[in-house]
Structure 1
Amino acid sequence: MGFLAIGINHKTAAVDVRERVAFSPEQLAEALQRMRVDTATQEVAILSTCNRTEIYCSQDTPDAERVLRWLADYHGLPAEQLTGSSYQYQESAAVRHMMRVASGLDSMVLGEPQILGQMKDAWQAARTAGTLGPQLDRLFQSTFNTVKQVRTDTAIGENPVSVAFAAVSLSRQIFSDLRRSTALLIGAGETITLVARHLYQQGVSKIIVANRTLERAQLLSDELGGRAIVLNQIPDVLAECDIVISSTASPLPILGKGAVERALRQRRHKPMFMVDIAVPRDIEPEVGRLADVYLYTVDDLHEVIAENLRSRQGAADAAERLIELGTDEFMQRLRALAAVDVLRRYRQKAEALRDQELTRAMSRLQRGGDPAAVMTEMARALTNKLLHDPSVQLKQMTAEGRADALALAQELFALEADQAPTLTPPQGKP
């Protein structure tokens, strides 16, 4: 059984491609179960964020092409559309990639911490859907432990560098004094929560939180002394908002060109700054063509983010070393677990032989056999039976010219290797 990681991210695909293969939280359980059946996959988890969609799975024979074809079919896309923008990793490379992703080393914002929470959500979703088996669960747990060590032993997460922070930094470039601005935040998830806190720290005078459920919006707005509304109330407040930042899991745009045009007329064309962090996008792209609107997507935040990365570059090298150690340790444990299964089956076989000889010996003793002779015969018979199969197999391997067989046998049985015999390959073999 082998590990496979396959997906697309902000480095390999533009936002219009990423949004077409994104999974909403409501889709995940059904998608996980369908993929396991459709691709003959034993264990599977899906990570879907604004910057990436990745599938982690365990298969008897890793088949990246089949998984990629399933991803395209599920979202109604031609497979070739994803071929050029996807990547795949197998075995230790898949383990390393997963640890790098969870540590924030593969993120748009180096070292951003939100991805770890999203990785835990992916683990929980697979667990709830019943597609998280023991192998994949061990990989997730090792990943979480490695990320914990990275966060503890390096400075990669010390500075406030994130998509949320970048969005607020960009708003400061548009509005010199945020204290006079009103912000509308659409959504109430982790990213919007971070945006809200950054804006609050910058002294934004008024924060309005819009969400599908009023209760969730109320929790966040109460924390910041703001106001909570539901999504269909956005047109009523849009005209008073200078800053609009949106991040929801909606499959369709929430804010359209017509609503923004009406708001601009009411504002007498006072500029509006908008950041659409969502994938799929929450704000129609046509809004960006309107005069007096500054609309940015996650892909537009690169320059702002780059300015905040320098302090994390040194820590990234140390983090990479920790991830290499974490990958090696996990693969060693995985190989050890494979040996445990073989040893378990061999022990069961040995115990069956033991019980067989013990039953025979007890029967002879009950018939009045000499105890010493019975014990001697039992020991001889058990020894012969335990050594029979290894002896046959070792002779067969050496006869086939497998030069490593004797050395492995000497190591396996802890024998002193005074001088291993030199094997001559069988006639006709190189």
Structure 2
Amino acid sequence: MTLLVLGLNHTTAPVDIRERITFGPDIIVGALRSLTESEGASEAVILSTCNRTEIYCYGCDLNPDQLQAWLARFHGLEAGNLSAYLYLHQEHKAVEHLLRVASGLNSLVLGEPQILGQVKSAWQTASDTGTVGKILGRLFQHSFSAAKQVRTDTAIGDSPVSVAFAAVSLSRQIFSDLSQQTALLIGAGETIELTARHLQQQNIGRIIVANRTVAKAHELAEQFGGYAIGLTEIPTHLPEADIVISSTASPVPVLGKGAVESALKQRRHQPMFMVDIAVPRDIEAEVRELRDVYLYTVDDLEEVIQENLKSRQQAAEQAAEIIELRTGEFIAWLRSLDAVEMIQSYRSQAHLIKQETLGKAQRMLDNGTAPEQVLEFLANTLTNKLLHTPSSQLREAGSNGQRELLEAATTLFQLDK
């Protein structure tokens, strides 16, 4: 059986590639079923965020090349055009990779906590779809435990560093005093909620939350004294926004160049600061061409983020030690499954021998044989039958000079050399 992860992330692929390989809520269930029904995976989980897309699989017929071809085919791409951006990890490395991802050690923002929620969500979706079994179920639960230990035992999460924090930090560089500014937040997920919290801490003047579901936008806006609107109302309220931060799961842009151009005219070309955290992108790339607009994507935030990471580096080294230890624990459990199957097989074999010998002993008693003779027959027969195959194999190993097998038998049977 093979355990592997195939994927790409912010370090291996630019945003225009990542946005073409995402699995939105509308297609992820079908993708999981396709993997387990036709690609040799008995278990599968797909993790798809703005910074990464990863496929975790377990199965006896897994072929990495076939899996890569499936990923490209599913998204209508040529496999050869995608291979340069992909990474593949198997067995030990696959386990270590997931534990690092869940702990935030492989994130654009080192130690950011949002990724753990995304990993849990990916696992839950796969569980609900029926593509998580004994192995991936145990692996993902192990990753949750490891991530919790990393956050508890190290200072990895002490500094307020995240994509949301970086976006707010950039806005402060452009507008030194946020108390006079209006922020339009598009979306209502965790990232937008975290952004709103950081903006509130910086005394933002006013918050508008736009979302496809207005009720959800209202629920979020209410926490921060904001105003909720639907996505269709964005063009009306866009001229009010000095800061626009967007993070939705929309497969197409929700804000186009024309709407921004119109808003700038109404603002008399007062500058607008925009951050597009979404993948695929929420804001058309052409908006960057407009004067008086400062548009950043998640990739552009990296430089800002790096300045806030120094305090986390030492904690990351401590976290790596925890990850190494917890990876070893899972691999040991995975290897033990082979022993469990072997033990079950050996016990079944011994049980058949017992039943056969017991049957003969019972017939001897029925035929009047003395109980002492039956007991002696039972003991001798069981001993001889149980020892016959091991003795024969050890004798052959001795004849062939298989010292490793002999030494293993000495340990297995706890014999004096």
Normalised TM-score (structure 2): 0.98
Match for residue 423 of structure 1? none
Q: Partners of 2:12 and 2:40 in 1: how far apart? A: 27
Q: Is the 8 A contact 1:273 1:293 kept in 2?
A: yes
Letter in 2 for 1:387: L
Note the C-alpha offset of 1:354: 1.0
Match for residue 151 of structure 1? 151
CA RMSD of aligned residues (A): 1.1
Note the C-alpha offset of 1:61: 4.9
**1:196-345 superposed matches below 5 A:** 196-345=196-345
Match for residue 44 of structure 1? 44
Measured at CA, do residues 120 and 404 of structure 1 come closer, stay the same or move farther in structure 2, by a change above 3 Å? same
Letter in 1 for 2:174: I
Letter in 2 for 1:67: L
Q: Is the 8 A contact 1:29 1:128 kept in 2?
A: no
What secondary structure is seen at the aligned counterpart in 2 of 1:84? helix
- Give the gaps of 5 or more residues in structure 1: 418-430
Note the C-alpha offset of 1:337: 2.3
Letter in 2 for 1:126: A
Note the C-alpha offset of 1:296: 0.2
Match for residue 376 of structure 1? 376
Q: Is the 8 A contact 1:4 1:59 kept in 2?
A: no
1:355-385 Cα shifts (integer Å, max 9, x gaps): 2211221221122211111011111111111
Q: Partners of 2:48 and 2:415 in 1: how far apart? A: 53
Letter in 2 for 1:189: G
Match for residue 131 of structure 1? 131
Q: Is the 8 A contact 1:62 1:90 kept in 2?
A: no
Q: Percent identity?
A: 58
Q: Partners of 2:186 and 2:245 in 1: how far apart? A: 6
Letter in 2 for 1:21: I
Match for residue 2 of structure 2? 2
Q: Partners of 1:29 and 1:401 in 2: how far apart? A: 55
Q: Partners of 1:300 and 1:389 in 2: how far apart? A: 67
What secondary structure is seen at the aligned counterpart in 2 of 1:161? coil
What secondary structure is seen at the aligned counterpart in 2 of 1:132? coil
Letter in 2 for 1:102: A
Note the C-alpha offset of 1:395: 3.6
Letter in 2 for 1:238: L
Letter in 2 for 1:148: K
What secondary structure is seen at the aligned counterpart in 2 of 1:22? coil
Q: Partners of 1:393 and 1:72 in 2: how far apart? A: 50
Q: Partners of 2:282 and 2:395 in 1: how far apart? A: 69
Note the C-alpha offset of 1:401: 4.3
Letter in 1 for 2:308: N
Match for residue 391 of structure 1? 391
Note the C-alpha offset of 1:396: 4.0
Letter in 2 for 1:405: L
Note the C-alpha offset of 1:309: 0.1
Q: Partners of 1:9 and 1:323 in 2: how far apart? A: 20
Note the C-alpha offset of 1:62: 4.3
Letter in 1 for 2:180: R
Note the C-alpha offset of 1:138: 0.8
Note the C-alpha offset of 1:260: 0.5
Q: Is the 8 A contact 1:47 1:118 kept in 2?
A: yes
Note the C-alpha offset of 1:397: 4.1
**1:164-183 superposed matches below 5 A:** 164-183=164-183
Q: Is the 8 A contact 2:19 2:279 kept in 1?
A: yes
Note the C-alpha offset of 1:342: 1.1
1:395-428 Cα shifts (integer Å, max 9, x gaps): 44444543311111111111111xxxxxxxxxxx
Letter in 2 for 1:293: V
Q: Is the 8 A contact 1:38 1:70 kept in 2?
A: no
Q: Partners of 1:163 and 1:397 in 2: how far apart? A: 62
Q: Partners of 1:374 and 1:232 in 2: how far apart? A: 89
Is 1:350 the counterpart of 2:347? The answer is no
